[in-house]
Structure 1
Amino acid sequence: MKRLLVAMVAIVAFSAPSLAAETAKTVGQAPPSFYLAQDTSTLKCQIVEAQPAAGSSMKVIGAAHATKASAETALKADKTCAK
């Protein structure tokens, strides 16, 4: 009887973590980011979803934005962009 009780406790102890609820995870994908990018020759800015590559004619102004709306707000507020 004691062996049966020990065996049941061991089974419950090892199986309990596998029954726990897990939060949803996004595998292999980063959250979308929006960048304010400025063309260095014309000084015009635009919102892009991919960070401009090093050595291109585009440079990132400020930090990445989580939403397109916040990137649009930053574009309107930026003084270095040609209108």
Structure 2
Amino acid sequence: MAIAVSAIGGSAVAAEFYVVRDATTKKCTIVDTRPTTSTVTIVDNGAFKTQTEAETDMKIMKACTSN
């Protein structure tokens, strides 16, 4: 039974949130999947554990506040 419990616990994927900046509009947004296109770039190269953390940091990121 211990094996079944650890298999279930190990398969859970932790949510990640990214602050991304659109290359055209220069606007920052938060997404819950790592971008795979060249039209947006991850700001600060970090993933956040919660959306609240991402929102808080986005407010002080220079790339997101300069425009």
TM-score range, shorter chain: 0.7 to 0.9
Letter in 1 for 2:30: I
- Give 1:73's aligned residue: 56
Unaligned runs of 5+ in 1: 1-17
Cα distance in 2 for residues equivalent to 1:81 and 1:67: 18
Cα distance in 2 for residues equivalent to 1:43 and 1:56: 13
Q: CA RMSD in A?
A: 2.2
Q: Which protein has the larger Cα radius of gyration, Structure 1 or Structure 2? A: 1
Length, aligned pairs only = 62
Query: TM-score if structure 2 supplies the norm length?
Result: 0.76
Letter in 2 for 1:25: G
What is the CA distance between 1:70 and its match in structure 2? 0.4
Secondary structure (helix, strand or coil) at the match of 1:32 reads coil
Unaligned runs of 5+ in 2: none
| Higher RCO by CA contacts (8 Å cutoff, separation 6 or greater) | 2
What is the CA distance between 1:56 and its match in structure 2? 2.4
Following TM superposition, the consecutive aligned residue runs of length 4 or more in structure 1 with deviations greater than 4 angstroms are: none
Query: TM-score if structure 1 supplies the norm length?
Result: 0.63
Q: Is 2:33 aligned against 1:50? A: yes
Percent of aligned positions that are identical: 29
- Give 2:9's aligned residue: 25
